[in-house]
Amino acid sequence: MSWISTLTWPQWLLLGAVPLGIILLYFLKLRREPVEVPSTYLWARTVEDLHVNSLLQRLRRNLLLLLQLLAVLLAALALLRPGHRGETSGQGRSVHLLDTSASMLTADVPDDASRFAKAKRLIGERIDLMNDTDQSMLVTFNDRAEVLQSFTSDRRRLRDALARAEVTNRPTDILGALKAADGLANPKRSSEVGDVNDVQVADALNADLLLFSDGGFQPATEFDLGNLTPEYISIGRETVANLAITAFSAERNVEKPSEVQAFATVINYGTSESSSTVSLFVEDSLIDASTVSLEPGEETGVSFTMDSEEAVSLRLVLETKDPFMLDNVAYAGLTPMKTVSVLLITEGNTPLELGLSTEKSAKICIKDVQFPSYLETDEYKQRADAGVDDLIIYDRCSPETMPTTNTFFIGALPPNADAGVAATDGAESVSATGDANVADGVSDGVTADADSKGWRWATPPGPVVLIDLDRTHPLMRYLEVYSLLIFSGRAIEGPPGMSELIDADVGPMLCIAPRDGYQDLVLGFDIISLDEDGLTQANTNWYAERSWPVFVLNVLRYLAGAAEASGAPSYRPGETVRVRVESALEEVQIGRVGTELKKMRPGPSGVVEVVDTESVGNYRVEADGKLADLFAVNLFDPRESDLGALPSVDLGYEAVEAVTGGVESRREYWRILLIGVLIMLAAEWWLYAKRVA
């Protein structure tokens, strides 16, 4: 026989006052009303009561009193919940480890909505069967552990903690939960083992370790359980059909930035063949679909191609229903074209400035136009050394030293610190100050130093006819230049590794070469030049052709890096995401697509830390109403998608076999006692009614 109290001590004291009040009512006498009668002979008993008219009277044997007291006693016994159960192996202390990882969302258990719901129900049953001397604690774990309730014998607090437990979309790591249980059941020592001063700081407290999980976690083989006695309650079936998306990404084609390529991996984790339609959505619009059919354990890749120059949110869906729907959907995104900073140094070049100001270029380019005299300022030198700009365009001018960024020289050559070429009469170039001076060692088309490895003019100025171009290079994409008129230009020779992009009848006219991690692009003719009177004149009709804004846009995308990092990064649920935005922004709005965006303030370095990433989906980062960045949150965890519940798990240095999770039934007697209370009250009422009648 065991008892489970349902009342607190103050409530028991209040209940104990009830029988005392009933007994006091029987000590009290009824107040009699005086009645005048002609003779008192027939009213002897009434006269006797009047003679002893006092507050209390002697308690007589009264069946009504006994029935009332018996009813109160039976009710008190019922509140103690008497019952009986067999002997158990429990140690009086138990640690409930509840798995709240994504796989516990699987709906493969009868009578419960999910594995998590069943685990909570089983823990609740064990809490209900606790004795007053039993103590339990509740720890939930996914990729991190949380102690919802430390050791207590208060069943109400344990039930409240259990009600607060929620399943997540996170992966599983049990080590943190084991350490939390170990810290309470296995007291540590004051120093390292072997130290002469080493002492035990507390007595060891044995406890039952009850693990409610499907076993989908990495074995904790090197963990010492110590005083913990493990018991693995397996939740779920050992074989579950599941078709899962384990990878999904989208990238722009480097050769064609407007072309988007999406790739995904689908795996069959079930034990039978499975097939499904794979649908690709942009926002909420269906773009394309494919069909997959996989044998057990087989995986395949699917790919899609679409055209989009804008930032988009992609969603890939397996059009099939299985017990675990979380891995049937995957998310990816294309970030907006990177906004690049361009420094243009020129005496004046309207066609180039217009090319940098077209609708498409303006979306990705922030330009700063300066005169060649700016090259002599300290501001420029600091700017060039720090690599603040993504691209510097030198129009008919050249700096003393190369900046730490990519460059584009128009009608001028990069400085050659290693060439050591003496200046001679020949082709002229405009210096930083705008004066005409001698170019790098060219006299009537003859080089002054054949061993020079730097940039140099190979021919003197003269009319140019373009004859070929490298169509495979990203800078030459969509270009037609054979009809261009060029009044004056010079062939280029450059350092090792130089690539010729446009060839003319006199030699290479547009070349690109690497430089310590950067790239330098050199054009052998001017767009705008000056006549003998110093007046501006056109040196080519390229700026009037359709290919000119296309070329400028290609320069921004490839050389300035506007097309880099087009695929939005993907993170796991619950992972902290660090988003870098422009440090000048005082506030940004971040949130999952389809939900309300939350306002956040970037740090001093322009970094925003996003911690609210529990739900899978695409997340937007907006600034001043414009999209600034995108990232995705996906499960992508083979352990969570492989849903079969394990028959045993490795905890510590032993393999723990799974048990069903049921608890020994308890025979309750309180219902019988409540029936007895009702019988007592009915008998008391019948007897009272009979006496009154």
- What is the spatial distance between Cα 456 and Cα 493, in angstroms, rounded to a whole number? 5
Picking from 339-343, 523-527, 582-586, 627-631, which range would have the lowest pLDDT averaged per residue?
A: 582-586
Task: Tell me the average pLDDT across 638-643.
Answer: 92
Under the banding of pLDDT at 50, 70 and 90, the label for residue 27 is: low
Give the three-state DSSP class for 609: strand
- Residue 363 identity (one-letter amino acid): K
Judged against a pLDDT cut of 60, whether residue 40 lies above it is answered with no
Task: Tell me the average pLDDT across 549-573.
Answer: 84
The sign of the CA dihedral 20, 22, 26, 30 is: positive
Neighbouring CB atoms inside 10 A of 267's CB total: 20
Q: Which residues contact 237 (CB under 8 A, 6 or more apart)?
A: 108, 109, 644, 645
Judged against a pLDDT cut of 60, whether residue 111 lies above it is answered with yes
Range picked from 132-136, 252-256, 531-535 for highest mean pLDDT:
132-136
Range picked from 449-463, 529-543, 667-681 for highest mean pLDDT:
529-543
Q: Tell me the two tokens of residue 148.
A: 């919802």
Q: 318 and 302 in contact (C-beta within 8 Å)?
A: no
Under the banding of pLDDT at 50, 70 and 90, the label for residue 37 is: low
- What is the spatial distance between Cα 217 and Cα 656, in angstroms, rounded to a whole number? 14
> What are the tens digits of pLDDT across the range 284-301?
899 999 999 999 999 999
Under the banding of pLDDT at 50, 70 and 90, the label for residue 311 is: confident
- Whole-number pLDDT of residue 236: 92
Task: Give the angle subtended at the CA of 230 by the CAs of 228 and 233, to the nearest 5°.
Answer: 150
Task: Tell me the average pLDDT across 348-371.
Answer: 89
- What is the spatial distance between Cα 364 and Cα 240, in angstroms, rounded to a whole number? 49
- What is the spatial distance between Cα 656 and Cα 221, in angstroms, rounded to a whole number? 11
Phi, psi of 542 (to 5 degrees): -60, -40
As a whole number, the mean pLDDT across the chain is 82
Torsion region of 70: left, alpha or beta (phi above 0 gives left; psi -120 to 50 gives alpha): alpha
Q: 235 and 214 in contact (C-beta within 8 Å)?
A: yes
- Whole-number pLDDT of residue 84: 62
Q: Which residues contact 134 (CB under 8 A, 6 or more apart)?
A: 90, 92, 93, 94, 153
Q: Let me know how many helices (H) and strands (E) the chain has, helices first.
A: 12, 41
Judged against a pLDDT cut of 90, whether residue 257 lies above it is answered with no
Q: 356 and 364 in contact (C-beta within 8 Å)?
A: no
Nearest CA among 551, 548, 561, 550 for reference residue 364 = 561
Higher pLDDT: 679 or 564? It is 679
Task: Tell me the average pLDDT across 472-498.
Answer: 88
